[in-house]
Amino acid sequence: MERFRKYGNAPFKVVVVHGGPGAAGQLAPVAVELSQEAGVLEPLQTAFSIEGQIQELYDAIKSNTKCPIILIGHSWGAMLCVLFTAKYPTIVKKLILVSCGPLEPIYNSSDVMGNRLKRMSIEQKTELDVALKKLNDPKFQDKNAVFTQLGRLASRIDSYKPLLAEYMEAQYDIFTSVWAEAESLRSKGGFSNAVKNIKCRVVAIHGDYDPHPANGVKSVLSSMIKDFQFISLEKCGHYPWIEYHAKDKFYSILRNEIKLAK
């Protein structure tokens, strides 16, 4: 399996980190768009632990970029970037968190799923139940396909007015291994503690229709990061780059942050 992709020309000073965990390649459209401004590296996280994914990210950055870099993470990738930046503060010039998952233990996955369930139709709830039964069946083999199906369902629920369907090939085994560890770390305050070691500018971009609670990000960062900016995108869900109302503003924000960092 390939470990990273490059877009544009060297030096590669922008690094985009996908979510999931296990949704490798999800940020390719963002990498393509931003490569008009600077060289972009897209690491593909394949490790089955948080520490393993941090090491993968470190190896990709040190081998292919000119540090310090602008680090852009989406969803779980944003949470991973928080941990990475806390561990390697001199490598990151600017940290941009897009649709970041909650960093505080008072928020958890049930909050996100609760928000999703409120939006689902009866047909979508049925689709969810069938998929979950297959994932929980030890005899069922093709769990990556079912997990990918769930990702597409979540994308429809999480989006306000998408221009296209968000597509991703998801790796269920990576997700179950890494996310269990991430939830345990969050319950112990591991993410909020990591924020204390971040010294660079941090920008959090969050759609107002995203089922992931914005306060789970904003409350932690605003109280601990000196140079912090929270940007709410109107009529925008979890994937800003596919949103009809928010796509242009989203890319404008990223381009501006890249230009300011040069």
**pLDDT for position 39:** 94
Topology of domain 4-106+174-261 in CATH is Rossmann fold (3.40.50)
**pLDDT for position 167:** 63
**pLDDT for position 141:** 82
Residues of the chain with pLDDT under 70: 1-2, 108-110, 165-168, 262
**pLDDT for position 109:** 64
**pLDDT for position 262:** 67
Beta strand 39-43 with 65-74 is unpaired
